[in-house]
A and B are shown apart, each in its own frame.
Chain A
Amino acid sequence: MSANSHVEGQLPHEPEKATLEGRNKVLGFWLFLGGETVLFGTLFSAFLALRHQVLDGPTENELFQLPLVALATALLLTSSLTSVFAVHALHTNRVKALINWLIVTVILGAAFLGLEIYEFAHYLHEGHGFTTSAFSSSFYTLVGFHGAHVAFGIAWITLIIIQLSRKGLTVVTAPKVYVAGMYWHFIDVVWVFIFTVVYLMGKVV
């Protein structure tokens, strides 16, 4: 790796993979995401099995409003893009740009979360509580788990931003940024599935 490391400042080319700890972290995180895939897969299966069990509560079709969800989707997808910019800044060793892109990412994530909270409050109003039906339980569990992941990601990336501004970009902080970026993309991909399987399918079938 050292052969092709074009030195910018003193950081090696791919600082997240420069140390064994860094490589372990990145690999461990890939594996962790494998486990997360199973987790969400199981949640999706439970939702698919139960989504028509609405009892007296509202159905998917009555409930979902695509424009709102589409807006949330756009926000989250954009935040994935800005996190790519962040990792690009990492690889070109521009700390300032890196921090700024992370801040934008966090703001977009928070906006998404705000919309989701608004959406849930609205559904609650429509008589779609957590305990209303098997459909509602599985819906809130699946979408809520994703929301909790977004919230966790926001807190996590915020901490990383603080660390970056205190310690700058090093072979210790770089893997953290990189891994948080992976996490953020993963959440995004899960959302694309939620958008398709929960919302679009709910409107169509």
Chain B
Amino acid sequence: MDWLTTVDHKKIGILYMIAGGFFFLVGGLEAILIRIQLWKPLNNFVSADTYNELLTMHGTTMIFLAAMPLLFALMNAVIPLQIGARDVAFPFVNSLGFWTFLFGGILLNVSWFTGGAPDAGWTSYAPLAGTTYSGDHGVDYYVLGLQIAGIGTLIGGINFLVTIINMRAPGMTFMRMPMFTWAAFITSALILFAFPALAVGLAALMFDRLFDANFFDPSGGGNAVLWEHIFWIFGHPEVYILILPAFGVISEVISTFSRKRLFGYSSMVFATILIGFLGFMVWAHHMFTVGLGPVANALFSIATMLIAIPTGIKIFNWLFTMWGGSIKFTAANLFAVGFIPTFVMGGVTGVMLAAAPADFQYHDSYFVVAHFHYVIVGGLVLGIFSGLHYWWPKMFGRILNETLGKLTFWTFFIGFHMTFFIQHFLGLLGMPRRIWTYLDGLGFNEMNMISTVGAFLMGFGTIFFLLNVVITAFKPQNAPADPWEDGRTLEWSIPSPPPEYNFAQTPLVRGYDAYWKEKMDGHTGMTPAEPIGPIHMPSPSILPFFMGAGLFVAGLGFMYAKDWGNLFGSFKTGYALGIVGLLIVFGSMFLRSVIDDHGFHIEEDEILKDMEGKA
């Protein structure tokens, strides 16, 4: 119950981690099934239809329900601590964001049990996603599930932006902000400008499917390429929404475990902003082959290649940070160091794809699959693993087992390269993506087999991680405040896990790497910026949960309005259910606005007691 009503960002972070982790396992299982189907030619392990569903759900789940929530988990757990804040700007909205994401995700996955998951690919290209080719409810689930989950992401992004702008501790100027917070800041800005475009696209597709509108249906005057523009003007920034926080994690981890200041901090900040900006200028590199013409292709090609410059700056800064440092290869740092060459390879194939004439050759082949898995798995997932190992003690007060952590890394890392390196060659040989099987004698057999074995290795790596989590959960909760002993940023100056109010006294920040600076000056902790006093906290609330549930009910209702019979006279049962769902949502909003809730205070003596207990 406590967990259903919490508005504490640290707990919400844990909720995001559990839910995102769960969907990561679901998406991983889908991937394994895909790879089993492809391990030999003319396999019939799953049918072509099921294959399409698995493929669609794998991509959609991994991007929207696993990767983003896991990043949100880290952001929630860490950002307020890194900037010296007691809380986020909108605790209620923060929890609402979590619940809408979760209910949206559940709605998407309900489709498995109701006769047909979405099957038009994670990009849901029209007219494939229209009613003509996707007659069952699969794509409806995609449209509504993502719409609901997207609301959660958007308000989560706004929450982080306001938190970072308005709630930094005294002295924490923008140019003293830790790199992870910077990355989260830019990511949130990208979310703010990218997700509304997706919302419109999904709404239009929903109108097409449920109410016979004609946005993307050529027979009604609609335009299928319009969908591609809308999708990718969201979709390309989305890939940077994913990778920038991972960059942030890598910056923190590398610098901590090299015992050195991050090299070129200001150029890192600048590069992050530039990547975020350019991310919006390049969407049509996904559309070189739809016939935009040579001028458009050339412009988007060049804009895409420009991104390699700030990315290169980041890579070199990481290398220079390690250079001459006293590097400790903890599990967290192994993931971070493994990230660098892997991401570089993904970037290089990205630039290859960005050459429009060459892309006509690579497009829709396994080369593209290899590219985006190098950046998303080799970049993002390694980054997430690194961040989880690094901040686990801060989140739970328990250090993950290092040996198991290293085992996770090596199995996952080797498995990853086995799975995807070879797919570059499959692509160059002409194996198309999104095809459920292939003929014998095309030279694809051995490589696909190797790829499947690699996928299993990655699966084992994930199992080792789960094992680690379970074993660690049974250990005593005794991690010190600064378990790596080389913590540089503010989160390491407070107990692990932090008390509900984070900082008993708001710290005074006197430089970049605030905590490290104090340690170097011979102090044992931060200088407080205020006397100890009662701390105001927001009260928990069940309303966000109900609002998420209401949207879920509404989504289901409207989706089935056409199929379910009549309730009174000609009024459809589905619409009735939909309206009930919306009433729950608006009713909760109404309650939220009329009930006066002033929160509560944590008193001084309680805070003093906490401080003694931990000292």
Contact = CB atoms under 8 A, between A and B. Distances in A.
Contacts of A39: 196-197, 199-200
A135 B159 CA distance: 37
Nearest to B212: A131
A36 interface: yes
A177 B167 CA distance: 23
A46 B203 CA distance: 12
Nearest to B194: A38
A32 B593 CA distance: 19
Given A46-B204, A50-B221, A54-B221, A35 B89 contact: no
B166 A50 contact: no
B222 A53 contact: yes
A38 B195 CA distance: 9
A151 interface: no
Contacts of B230: 42, 45-46
Interface string A129-159: 0110111111001000000000000000001
B207 interface: yes
Contact of A53 (B193, B200, B221): B221
B214 A23 contact: no
A135 to B, nearest CB: 7
B193 A130 contact: no
A130 to B, nearest CB: 6
Contacts of A137: 204, 207-208, 213-215, 220, 222
- The 4 closest A-B CB pairs, nearest first, are A53-B221, A134-B221, A137-B213, A39-B196
Contacts of B195: 35
Interface in A1-39: 20, 23-24, 27-28, 31-32, 34-36, 38-39
Given A34-B193, A134-B214, 8 more contacts: A24-B89, A42-B233, A53-B222, A130-B213, A134-B222, A137-B204, A137-B214, A141-B204
Contact of A27 (B154, B166, B193, B201): B166
Contact of B192 (A34, A134, A135): A34
24 contacts: A20-B166, A24-B90, A27-B166, A31-B161, A32-B158, A34-B193, A35-B158, A35-B192, A38-B193, A38-B194, A38-B196, A38-B197, A39-B196, A39-B197, A42-B233, A49-B226, A50-B214, A53-B214, A53-B221, A137-B204, A137-B220, A137-B222, A141-B213, A141-B215
B5 interface: no
Interface residues of B, number: 40
A55 interface: yes
A34 to B, nearest CB: 6
Main secondary structure of the interface of B (DSSP, over half): helix
A120 to B, nearest CB: 15
Nearest to A20: B166
A43 interface: yes
A27 B160 CA distance: 12
Interface string B145-166: 0000000001000110110011
B131 interface: no
Contacts of B161: 28, 31
Interface in A40-67: 41-43, 45-46, 49-50, 53-55
B214 A133 contact: yes
Interface in B582-606: 590, 593-594
B222 A50 contact: yes
A35 B237 CA distance: 14
B201 A133 contact: no
Contact of B215 (A55, A138, A159): A138
B200 A46 contact: yes
